[in-house]
Amino acid sequence: MSSLRTLLPCLLAGLASVATAQTPAPKANAAPTKDWNAQYVLGPDSQEKANVPKGVVTKFRLDDSKTFPGYARDWALYVPAQYDGKKEACLMVFQDGMGYIGPKGNWRVSTVFDNLIAEGKMPVTIALFINPGFAPDKNNPNGKGKDGKPLGKSNRSYEYDNVTDKYPTFLIDEMIPLAESKGYKISKDPLRRAIGGASSGGICAFNVAWQRPDSFSKVFTTIGSFTNIRGVISKGAEVGGNQFPQMVLDAPKKNIRIFSQDGSHDLTNEYGVWPEANQKMADAWKAKGYDHQFVLGEGTHDGRHGGMLLPEALKWLWRDVR
């Protein structure tokens, strides 16, 4: 499907950022001469509306993992007001999940879901928010560094940037059953499952659908790190995300629908050039005939453009599911 070249209109209020730092953090470009992201503001579907039923977000803690032993993580569930337990709900998963759940900030997923579900523009959908694994410093488990962040080791890059079936296995074999154990009925139909993320969470989202199209068929990826992060870190011992375009071209087409976004002022560093990498992914999807949309704006490595696009992206991804 041809790239979407006309940006959606900038609408109403909203600023703030979601945590999308790499692990280890990539070096940013030189400071921009202007705020390229200021043009991207949230529209009415990202604002709370009177008389719209509100879903409930419940937070949880996973102390360890079979797939990633030694790493704990926060996670949460959004359950829409329309879910009554009589019918299986659709599912959408978000990486770096805690950055997506709040009523403020770039994403406001619960508010957007409330509005679109009430308007019949997306199906009754449970959202699963998952943070990457983190192991506290054994010698100072409650300590914090000078930056105020907890001392310890994040497993984010290993989980998100690796082009393997490890994270998909964790998600499908551990996290979704854990969500179901809370008493919710979730569809196993891949056409009724979506996954999203930004930066390393963005390549992770596509990798889940790529590795397991039997479980996920819809992807929302913004400022995706389709670059050589893992290859550089491990000196070529692992498959880097920069190899994904060729993998897409070489493999039979899979039943995956993708909405992707990047900005022309996104990162350039030792791992790659983000706008070029995302354009190569879009070119590969187009060449193989994937149902996809690619929006290339002017922004940096920032969530504001993706947040503005989220409502329209969800309408497009879910357009034939009710």
Distance separating alpha carbons of residues 80 and 119, to the nearest angstrom: 13
CATH number for position 180: 3.40.50.1820
Q: Check: CB of residue 58 under 8 Å from CB of residue 45.
A: no
Of residues 298, 242, 239, 246, the one with CA closest to residue 270: 242
In a domain, residue 38? The reply is no
In a domain, residue 9? The reply is no
The count of structural domains within the chain is 1
Q: At 187, list the tokens.
A: 């569809």
DSSP 159: H
In a domain, residue 23? The reply is no
Distance separating alpha carbons of residues 273 and 197, to the nearest angstrom: 19
Cis peptide leading into residue 24 (ω within 30°): yes
* Cross-strand pairs, 136: 152
- For residue 204, give the H/E element and its range: helix 200-211
Q: Check: CB of residue 297 under 8 Å from CB of residue 263.
A: yes
Q: Check: CB of residue 168 under 8 Å from CB of residue 197.
A: no
Q: At 238, list the tokens.
A: 């692992």
CA atoms within 13 A on the CB side of 32: 17
In a domain, residue 206? The reply is yes
Q: What is the pLDDT along the chain (322 residues), one digit of tens a residue?
A: 444 343 333 333 332 334 333 334 445 555 558 999 999 999 999 999 999 999 999 999 999 999 999 999 999 999 999 999 999 999 999 999 999 998 999 999 999 999 999 999 999 999 999 999 999 988 888 888 888 889 999 999 999 999 999 999 999 999 999 999 999 999 999 999 999 999 999 999 999 999 999 999 999 999 999 999 998 888 767 888 999 999 999 999 999 999 999 999 999 999 999 999 999 999 999 999 999 999 999 999 999 999 999 999 999 999 999 9
In a domain, residue 34? The reply is no
| Alpha helices, H only, 1-72 | none
Q: What is the pLDDT of residue 29?
A: 59
Q: What is the pLDDT of residue 11?
A: 31
Q: What is the pLDDT of residue 234?
A: 80
In a domain, residue 16? The reply is no
Domain that holds residue 301: 44-136+148-317
